[in-house]
Structure 1
Amino acid sequence: MIKKALVVVLVALVSACAGIPVSSDYAADYDFAGVSTFAWLPRTEAADGGNNADLDNDLVRQRVTDAVDAQLAVKGLSRALDGVPASVLVTYHLGKEEKVNFNSFGSWYTHFSYYPCYYCDYRPGYGRGYFGHGHFYDDDVWVRSYEESSLMIDIIDAKSKKLVWRGTSKRVMPNMDTPEERRRYIQDTVAAVLAKFPPGAEQHP
């Protein structure tokens, strides 16, 4: 029963990460097989936009750190003890950007009654009128604004101080009302990004 439960949890985590867009880049000549320990690179106050308290505060830093520590531990990397040289250094960068999405619904949709709101009357910002067979109006445009968050995780060779791996994810940021929702959002994003570390990890789990 315990094994079955673990399989279910792993499948759920993989499924959750599968829908998160991620890109990565790395030094092709670097020996990732020799990486066994890591340490956190000290962060500066301006690491994520200066005074943006939403992106860089103690709560967010702890959630990201915990999530990265857990994912690297799963991959066999241990956090180096104080005073002991690590194989690589780890740091991250957070970003947030306001986005606007425009969707246009032309007369073809209104003619065949295929529209998100069939009898919606006029609503500011959402279009106009009654949408049904034989009713033609000007093209309708829906405008939706949203926030897009980005997470970039960098892996740096401890000796040369050169960047050897970088993973990035950009996601639409949902409304999150509780600390647990924020923790899960960060946890899922970090897991998706580090699924590509080391190079080839997704192809050869």
Structure 2
Amino acid sequence: MFRKMLWVIAALMVLSLHGCNSGVQVRVDYDPKENFEQFHSYAWAPPTEAERQEKARNSLLHERIQAAVDAHLAARGYQMVEAARADFLVTHTVTVERRAQVHDSRVSLGYGRYGARGGVGISTGFPVGTTVEEYKVGTLIIDVIDVRQQRLVWRGSGDRTIGEDYSPEKRTEIINTVVNEVLGRFPPVNKKAK
């Protein structure tokens, strides 16, 4: 009975963690005085020379991001138009950071005794080694610029662990997930100028 209950608890924990985590950590900042309800059309901001060079280095990545952003905004009712007619401009930036996680390994020894009037137990642990796991975290930043004011009014970013051995289909799936998670918070709910 006890063993069965442990399995049920473990299964529920795994399902609850898996079900609510896309692996994307999203952060958003915006101008609370901005009337986001005035936005109906958008265009891509013209890239700076540095952005143009960066995007040329990995054009496949940036084309996937732009396609995902376009699809998400179209599904939300925003129309892509020429920059001169747009209500807002969109731009994006990608960064990749190497990180390390340190894991300490320990061995534990224990002794227990059960007598007629109770029990006694002693346990101790000994460090046996340290392992370092290196990984990469990709960050996608999406900016929304109010055309009339020519200023940033909304920024969303999403962080996710990335790998180098992903297929093109897997890369597209990951980008779509990150874009949808980030733009899922645009526009801010019930946030308009008063």
TM-score band, normalised by shorter chain = 0.7 to 0.9
Q: CA deviation at 1:180?
A: 1.0
Higher helix content, 1 or 2 = 2
Aligned to 1:185: 174
Query: Residue 36 in 1 paired to residue 36 in 2?
Result: no
SS at match of 1:71: helix
In the alignment, structure 2 segments of 5+ residues that lack a partner are 1-18, 111-122
* 1:22 paired residue among 22, 26, 33: 26
**Equivalence for 2:137:** 148
Cα distance 1:83–1:149, how it changes in 2: closer, same or farther (>3 A)? closer
Contact 1:150–1:171, Cα closer than 8 Å, also in 2: yes
* Secondary structure, counterpart of 1:186 in structure 2: helix
Q: 1:66 to 1:26 in 2, by over 3 A?
A: same
1:63 and 2:64 matched = yes
Would the aligned equivalents of 1:17 and 1:188 in 2 still touch at CA under 8 Å?
no
Q: How many residues align?
A: 160
Q: For residue 161 of structure 2, what is the amino acid of its counterpart?
A: V
**Which residues of structure 1 form unaligned runs of 5+?**
1-14, 113-133
CA distance in 2, matches of 1:142, 1:79: 49
**Structure 1 counterpart of 2:94:** 94
* Contact 1:16/1:188 (<8 A) preserved: no
Once residues 29 and 36 of structure 2 are traced to their aligned partners in structure 1, the CA distance between those partners, rounded to angstroms, is 13
Identify the residue that residue 113 of structure 2 maps to in structure 1.
none
Counterparts of 2:64 and 2:23 in 1: how far apart (Å)?
A: 21
Residue 170 of structure 1: how far off its partner (Å): 1.1
Residue 44 of structure 1 aligns with an amino acid whose one-letter code is T
Residue type matched to 2:73 in 1?
Answer: L
Structure-1 separation of matches of 2:154 and 2:26: 13
Which has the larger share of strand?
A: 2
Question: Cα RMSD between the aligned structures?
Answer: 2.6
Matched with 1:78 is 79
Q: Call closer, same or farther: CA 1:91–1:83 in 2, change over 3 Å.
A: closer
Quote the sequence identity (%).
31
Offset of residue 17 of structure 1: 7.0
Residue 59 to residue 36, structure 1, CA distance change in 2 (3 Å): same
Question: How many Å separate the matches in 1 of 2:189 and 2:157?
Answer: 16
CA distance in 2, matches of 1:88, 1:76: 14
CA distance in 1, matches of 2:30, 2:54: 30
Q: Is the 8 A contact 1:176 1:182 kept in 2?
A: no
- Report the TM-score, using the length of structure 1 for normalisation: 0.69
State the Cα distance separating 1:84 from its structure 2 match: 4.8
Deviations 1:5-36 (A, max 9, x none): xxxxxxxxxx6875421010100010001100
CA–CA distance in structure 2, aligned partners of residues 111 and 142 of structure 1 = 21
Is residue 17–residue 191 contact of structure 1 (8 Å, CA) maintained in 2? no
Equivalence for 1:105: 105
Cα distance in 1 for partners of 2:51, 2:150 equals 17
Distance 1:136 1:24 in 2: 43
